[in-house]
Amino acid sequence: MFTGREFSRVSDSMYYAYITRHGIGDTTENRTLFNAGFYRGAQYAMRTSGELSPHIARFIEFVIWLTERQEAE
């Protein structure tokens, strides 16, 4: 999970890459809007991956079971 410093570092990196690529000026308003969108995107990603975790764990268990079964035969 991100700490405040890590989140800030990643956000800064993405922001400067975005404004450079799209030729947008570095203003306080642009930064505020970018931060809000970046934060919401991070929240969505965490929530989605949290919801998928049990299913992914079951799939991995199933693949391990298949692998062990094939070796036993």
The pLDDT tens digits for 17-61 are 999 999 999 999 999 999 889 889 888 888 888 888 888 888 888
pTM confidence score: 0.59
- Cα 46 to chain centroid distance, Å, stands at 7
- Produce one character per residue of 17-26: b if its CB has 16 or more CB atoms within 10 Å, e if not: eebeeeeeee
Q: Using an 8 Å Cβ cutoff, are 15 and 34 in contact?
A: yes
